Chain A
């Protein structure tokens, strides 16, 4: 595997794309072919099944580059394969069935365990270790997270809380109003695309667009915000240097980028509100505002919650916007940014970084739980 990737890295760049995709799809093709072969009847296919059950895991290890010395791992894997074969032959629902299941699920499972489960466990462990990751320090890292001052993590935690409170609400409200206002208007498509397009723009691009928008300089202003300030007779301000204004302006970038998402999803929900409901309200003499508050809002409530939760989670993890606009200076750091910064210090503060990551994780959970809860209620 290492040899393959080294060889690949040496190829011309644009050749690497088809080569790696083809190699990957070839492997997948072989696996799918094996699932086709496995359940076939006949003595010969029993041997084929045995070959698959033992051969595939052993070969995988060899390809991954297992050191030759650790033979016991090969033996272990071969034994596991043999066990699978034995279970498979005894399966009541037909031979080859368990082998098929194993072939279908194990590639993804391998990546999920190595790449998601195991790293998560390690980060949790790191959160209670010192910066080298070897010495247990108890809750010291979390004490650091909650300690104020320029070296502590409290600023980033408090800022993140502000982000999570402000951004989702504003993006959802603006998206909802806009969806309602442009609904069934003549230029609906165009008006929607204008708001929607920022979704395709990266946070990096959005941040640069707004850095230019907020720009401050001596002499002629080139940022529109300061030009408008001049127009109404004020003095231009260095927006990104003054806390907390800078934070709210950065939150504005996230709102700008996510309102389109809220608008599209909510617009679809508004369109699916049954027409008779609205007509009935109209006949009862309800004003447009009352129809909106008492008919439309309650009907699309589950969608509003999903949109709000999605943007909340995004606000919790924000990294790019802070990195590009202020680099975390002027008190603007947030959990997601501070986590990376602590790790890129010299020496890396692995413990602090892990504690911050864990905090993001813990803060995400209630949102997902609330979402799941409101969805299951909506199903009934």
Chain B
């Protein structure tokens, strides 16, 4: 959202707070940890119990009579909702998420580079303008964007750019990619600008003296130097797009729906079919959890650099 005033002091702290040695603190921390974990655990245990048991006895009875099955998962993967299987919905999520992560990062890097290292009139105004666009909530954009995609750009009654043809609306992903990309641009530009601005001037000047143009400096020097920031932002954008429901609800229909939308539909229509919902929730969580655990270092770093989607 905004920059986070966390100064990472390099000083080694010899002092111990001795907080956990206080028994109340220990109890408090453990209670919170348990409360935070149990709901997920309950759903997970249910997902591996036979379907008939899930709705007739509590998941805590599992420990007394352990009986596991993977049937819920195989049934869920092939379950058809809104014309597609859950497996297909997972593929859709991937198809939506990867381009919707690459697009805004690339565009934002370019504009952020120009704002940070090319001196032109009005660049400060432009930076503040882009930065302040962060405050526009997604809700402000939905309806006009929907009209834009179907109607195109019309100026003074003249069709300038046509909309997406109606037949591709049902199966294409273009609208979802573009919507995610556009709404991510202000924050991405802001973060990349801050990262690029910390590159030492000497390095940039040395490159320029060596005869490198901005295009070359951008590709060979600036981008590699801010790679950790790019990684942090990429994780956030990936998780955000993968977990999104709002954009998916408005801009996908039927065949191109991602797994979040299918899950929301299942929850509404088959609210009592817990074998579907338990297994479905976990297959949807797997991908973000892998990303999360594999790249946790960058994730925390991104958090501290102040990147939560505004």
Interface residues of A (CB under 8 A from B): 2, 5-6, 8-10, 13-14, 16-17, 20-21, 24-25, 28, 31-40, 61, 64-67, 70, 73, 93, 97-98, 100-101, 104-105, 107-109, 111-112, 114-120, 122-123, 126, 174, 177-178, 180-186, 191, 194-195, 197-205, 207-213, 217, 219-224, 227, 256, 259, 261, 264-265, 268-269, 271-272, 274-275, 278-279, 282, 288, 302-303, 306, 309-310, 313-314, 316-317, 319-320, 323-324, 327, 335-336, 339-340, 343, 350, 353-354, 356-358, 360-361, 364-365, 368, 371-372, 375, 378-379
Contacts and interface: CB of A to CB of B under 8 A. Distances in A.
Given A212-B274, A288-B18, A323-B264, 15 more contacts: A14-B95, A37-B215, A64-B161, A101-B114, A111-B185, A115-B181, A116-B141, A117-B133, A177-B32, A213-B39, A306-B4, A324-B268, A354-B143, A361-B137, A361-B139
A200 B288 contact: yes
Contact of B164 (A5, A177, A274): A5
A6 B26 contact: no
Contacts of B111: 104-105, 107-109
Dominant SS among interface residues on chain A = helix
B168 to A, nearest CB: 5
Nearest to B38: A224
Contact of A210 (B39, B172, B285): B39
B46 to A, nearest CB: 7
Nearest to B280: A208
Nearest to B239: A200
A105 B110 contact: yes
Contacts of A24: 99, 102-103, 106
A115 B178 contact: yes
Contacts of A36: 213-216
Contacts of B159: 67, 70
Dominant SS among interface residues on chain B = helix
Contacts of B139: 317, 319, 335-336, 339-340, 356-357, 360-361
Given A320-B245, A357-B139, A375 B3 contact: yes
A256 B95 contact: no
A286 to B, nearest CB: 13
A140 to B, nearest CB: 17
Nearest to A15: B95
A285 to B, nearest CB: 15
Q: How large, as a class, is the contact surface on chain B? A: 35 or more
B218 to A, nearest CB: 6
Contacts of A274: 9, 11
Contacts of B25: 180-181
Contact of A194 (B37, B137, B308): B37
Nearest to B42: A224
B143 A100 contact: no
Interface string B85-106: 0001001101100110011001
Nearest to B126: A105
Interface string B110-131: 1101110011100000100010
B283 to A, nearest CB: 10
A123 B143 contact: yes
A320 B263 CA distance: 11
Given A93-B119, A204-B243, A340 B249 contact: yes
B168 A2 contact: yes
Contact of B4 (A191, A227, A303): A303
Contact of B17 (A93, A184, A356): A184
A368 B135 contact: yes
Contact of B5 (A119, A200, A219, A375): A375
B6 A204 contact: no
Interface string B66-96: 0000000000000000000000100110110
Contact of B58 (A174, A183, A220, A314): A220
A145 to B, nearest CB: 13
B137 A317 contact: yes
B225 interface: no
B158 interface: yes
Contact of A272 (B9, B162, B250): B9
Interface stretch (B49-57, B199-207, B226-234): B49-57
Contact of B144 (A119, A204, A324): A119
B215 A119 contact: no
